[in-house]
Amino acid sequence: MPTTSQRPFTVRETPARILDAAERIVQARGFNAFSYGDVAAELSITTAALHYHYPRKAELGTALIRRYATRCASRLMALDEAADSTKSKIDSYVGIYVNAITQGRMCLCGMLAAEYLTLPADMQAAVRDYFEQNEAWLGRVLEHGRAEGAIEFAGSSGDTARMIISGLEGAMLLSMPYRDVERFMKVATRLLGGLYPPARAA
């Protein structure tokens, strides 16, 4: 019996359903610990159907990262359009991590970064692209905020963005054994608190 839906899905829907299932599994177990059999069992389809759409596991992995990165880029664009202040953009960015933790998931690319040396070259490149995309967006937000006087930090915006993302990914990883959002938020609050001058912290 399908675990994702009671309605049989069409051939056209199959690739997206495969990626949905694979993403959930990889976020929970990692790439090396999942197999086509896991996805097939969840979707109640044959492994031959998976190989039809994604002949090799590496192709599935690369498609998974690229789709994840595309969704992330859309979310970041939405934050730019919806949030007025630097602080609200940064807070909303942290909220993306919080949402994943509440669902019992790791950041997909954070999970894959831990397995980086064992990944195929195309997947390694896609993981790097994902983090560079996030660093570029956050760097622009930080630079704009500093120019407006809303935040303060030493050094380059790029280095600061890298430090923040590294800290959030690490806090997310260490919160997962406890499934504790509050544990993550305490680290995130300490990590980001230094950005805001005391007079503007409220």
Tens of pLDDT, residue by residue over 83-142, are 789 999 999 999 999 999 998 889 999 999 999 999 999 999 999 999 999 999 999 999
Mean pLDDT of the chain: 90
CATH of the domain at 43: 1.10.10.60
Which letter does DSSP use for residue 151 in this model? -
Query: What percent of the chain lies above the pLDDT cut of 70?
Result: 92
The per-residue pLDDT for 5 is: 43
Range of the domain at 91: 64-200
Q: How many angstroms from the chain centroid is the CA of residue 34? A: 18
**22 vs 31: CA distance, rounded Å:** 9
Opening angle at CA 90, ends 196 and 28, nearest 5? 130
One domain for residues 51 and 127: no
Q: How many angstroms from the chain centroid is the CA of residue 70? A: 11
Q: How many angstroms from the chain centroid is the CA of residue 9? A: 27
Q: Domains in the chain: how many in total? A: 2
One domain for residues 87 and 48: no
One domain for residues 138 and 168: yes
